[in-house]
A and B are shown apart, each in its own frame.
Chain A
C-alpha cells in the first residue's frame, strides 16, 4: 500500500517540484489527482476537450501523432497536456501508456490557480517548454 508519505516522497524526487516545501507537496499529493493506467491505455486523447496537465510519477508513455513513426517517449518526471490545457484547445496527439503508468493530473480548471500558487513549479515548467521549443527550432 502506498501511503501519503510515499506519494510525497515520489513528488519530492521530481525536478518539477524540487523547490517546494513538504507541506506544499502534501497539498499537491491528493488522491483525487492520482491516476493509474494499464499498459496500452490512452491518457490524453486527441480531439477530446476537457483534459488536464499530467505529470508522470512512474512508468512510460508515448506521444502518438498520426503519421509519425517515432513517437516521443515520456518517463518519470515528464509532463504533458500543458498546451491544450493552457490554451483551452483539443490535444493534437494521443498520449498512450507504454507500461503500467502512475501519474498526477492537475485538472484543467484548477491549473491556473495551481501555477499561481506555486511559481517555482511554473518557472521550471517554462524552462522545459523553452527547451522543447529550442529543440524544434534548432
Chain B
C-alpha cells in the first residue's frame, strides 16, 4: 500500500463522535462494525499500513491459529468462521474469509505475511479510511465529559474512544540483570544461534516458539520459568500443540530442558551468561552458563496516561481491567478492541480463559462492543433479531451447534433471547450479573476434562439458574434428546 500524502490523509484533528486508535485487526474490526452501525468515527494509527503486530510478528513467521481453506462449512458463511480463525468479520460475503484466500496450503495456519495480506485486503476492499502516521500521545477529559486525544497531528475530541493499541510493548519480568537480556522481539536469525547454548526465560507460547525455531540450529536449548508447562486441556494450555516439539525433546532427554525454576539473577560475562536460580517443582540450586539468553516474558498494553483517567490494570500492570463490554468502567467512554479485550476476564469457568487475546475471539468482542457503544454513548439502538416463541428451541440448538461466537468464546459470549423474542449476542458475565427482563442465554462450555457441552442460563424474576446439557459425540445438538431437554427447561 502506497504511503499517504498529507493532502490525502483522512480525519484531520477535530471533533468526532468516536475516535478509534490503531489499525491492527482490532482497530479494523472495530471501525468496520461502527461504520455498519452508522457511527461516524475517525481512525488514527501511528503505522504506515494496516496489520498492527502482524506487520512484524510472530518472529518465526507462522501463526498459531488455524484457517482451513476447505472445511465442513462453506467459506463465506457464518458457520465457516469457526474454521477460519484469522479473517475479520463482515456482513458482505465478498469481504469475508479473506485470509484463507491468500494461504498456499503448506500449513493450516497462515504465515505472518499471508495474515498481513489478508488484513490489508480487508481494509482496502471494504474500504476503511485510516489516518496513518498519526501517533496518539496522551489523553484528558474536558469538563463536559468529552475525551481529548492529543496526537502527533493535533487534538481529537470525542464522546467515546476505542483503543485498539494491542498488547505489544515488550515486557521484562523484574529479575536482576534482565535489563541487558534481548527480548523475544530482538531474537536474531536462527543461523546466528548455530552451535550455541540458549537459555529462554519463559515457558509459554513465545518461549516455545523460539525453542521450536532454534531447535534445528542451537546446540542446546534450556527453557526456564517458575511454573510447570501446562498442556493438559487445549483450552487451558499455556503452550499450543504446534510448539510441542521442543517439549517432546525435553521429555525424551534429547538435549532440550524445560526447567521449573525461579531465576534469581542473570550475570553477563564477556562471551557468556550466568543464570542463577532455584527449582520450584523440585527444590534445588540452579547455576547455568550459556552462550545466549532470550526473554520470552510477554508484552504489555501501551496505556500511556490512561491511568490518570481511571483505567485500572491487571496482570502486573500489563492489561487494562475492563467491564464485560470492554469499557474501562461503565460510562467512561474509554473502550478497548483487539488483544487488550482480554482485560474483561469473563467467568473463567473451570479456569478456561476467553479467546480474546486472539483474532478469532476479539473480532466478536469488537462487534458486541460497537453495538454497546452506539447504544449507550450515542443513542443509536442496534437492530436485533426476533425469534418467534415456537421457533425458540430449534433456534437455540442451531446456534449452539453452528454459532462461531459461542464456539470461539466459550463461557464468554452467549446467545440471549428475551421472553418477547428479542435476540442478541451478549457477554455471559453481563447476562448473569445484570438485572434485566426474563430471558434465556445459551453458550458452549468446556470442563476440566476437555468435554464440550451446551450450557443454558435462565433468568426469571432476576434469579439466574444454570443448566448444563449433555455433550454430543459429533458436536451437533440438533437432535431429539437435546430438544427434549431444552424444551423441558424452557
Contact = CB atoms under 8 A, between A and B. Distances in A.
A23 B226 contact: yes
Nearest to A41: B433
| Best-buried of B173, B315, B432 by chain A (most CB within 10 Å) | B315
Contact of A36 (B262, B312, B350): B312
Contacts of A5: 174
Interface residues of B, number: 43
B383 interface: no
Given A3-B316, A4-B316, A23-B261, A105 B464 contact: no
A6 B318 CA distance: 14
A109 B236 contact: yes
Given A21-B283, A50-B447, A109-B448, A32 B238 contact: yes
| Best-buried of B173, B318, B350, B351 by chain A (most CB within 10 Å) | B351
Given A22-B262, A34-B315, A4 B174 contact: yes
Nearest to A29: B226
B347 interface: yes
B289 interface: no
B179 to A, nearest CB: 13
B173 A49 contact: no
Contacts of A21: 278, 283
B347 A48 contact: yes
Nearest to B300: A1
Nearest to B324: A41
Interface in A49-67: 49-52
A75 interface: no
Contact of B464 (A6, A23, A48, A110): A48
Interface in B287-313: 312-313
Interface of A: 1-7, 21-24, 26-27, 30-32, 34-36, 38, 41-42, 45, 47-52, 90, 100, 105, 107-110, 117
Interface of B: 173-174, 226-227, 233, 236, 238, 260-262, 277-281, 283, 312-318, 321, 323, 329, 345, 347-351, 353, 411, 432-433, 445, 447-448, 464-466, 468
9 contacts: A4-B316, A21-B283, A32-B353, A34-B316, A38-B312, A41-B433, A45-B464, A47-B465, A52-B351
